[in-house]
Amino acid sequence: MKAWAWVVLALVVVGAITWAAWPNGGERSARERARDLAAELRCPDCEGLSVLDSSTTTARAIRRDIRDQIAAGASDEEIRQSYVDRYGESILLNPEGEGLGVLVWGLPVLVVVVGAGGLALALRRWRAQPAMRATASDEALVARERGASTT
């Protein structure tokens, strides 16, 4: 594969990852922010449901509190932190990028990087191996055999 093809491939991969990971542009409405935050928080008194999906009194109170905090001018991070302060990290459905959360987010990336490195090394190794070329004696042997078979 030509060098420029590798460059193009790398650009496509990096571009796709960046596009997928980039936060949605544009100003989000208060309603959208409240909805997104409620989807990020675990309902404290139910199993495996987000605050957005739960209908318990507590979940409804949290949804109301999120709306109140947004109306009071709090940022998403401040609202998130206000719940972590009261409930701990377990209130977040998505692990933070620290502690064990590093493993969850970082390990797949590390595996991909190491895998890509390994693949590149293997490809280089295969390319470095000498191609088999026929020597003069090989050519003579083939010519002799062909001559023998046509007569």
Partner 1 sequence: MRQPTRWIALAVAVVVALVGVVLATQVGGDPRADATKSQLVGELAPDFRVTTLDGQAITTADLAGKAVIVNFWNTWCVPCQEELPALRSFADAHADEPDFAFLGIVRDDTKTAVQAYEPAKTIDWTVVTDPGAKAALAFGTRGQPETFAITPDGFVAGAQIGPSTRADLETLLDAARGRLR
Complex with partner 1: residue 15 or 97, whichever CB lies closer = 97
Complex with partner 1: residue 39 or 103, whichever CB lies closer = 103
Contact yes or no for 30/36 (Cβ under 8 A)? no
Complex with partner 1: residue 57 or 137, whichever CB lies closer = 57
Select the residue interacting with partner 1 from 53, 89, 139, 145 (CB under 8 A).
89
Complex with partner 1: residue 12 or 61, whichever CB lies closer = 61
Give dist(CA 68, CA 52) in Å, integer.
16
CB atoms within 10 A of CB 148: 8
If one asks whether residue 94 binds partner 1 (CB under 8 A), the answer comes out as no
Which helix or strand (DSSP H or E) is residue 12 part of?
helix 3-21
If one asks whether residue 125 binds partner 1 (CB under 8 A), the answer comes out as yes
Contact yes or no for 40/92 (Cβ under 8 A)? yes
Give dist(CA 43, CA 59) in Å, integer.
6
If one asks whether residue 112 binds partner 1 (CB under 8 A), the answer comes out as no
**DSSP secondary structure string, 108-131?**
HHHHHHHHHHHHHHHHHHHHHSPP
Select the residue interacting with partner 1 from 9, 12, 107, 142 (CB under 8 A).
107
Q: Which residues bind partner 1 (CB under 8 A)?
A: 44-45, 56-58, 60-62, 64-65, 84-90, 95, 99-103, 107, 110-111, 114, 117-118, 121-122, 124-125
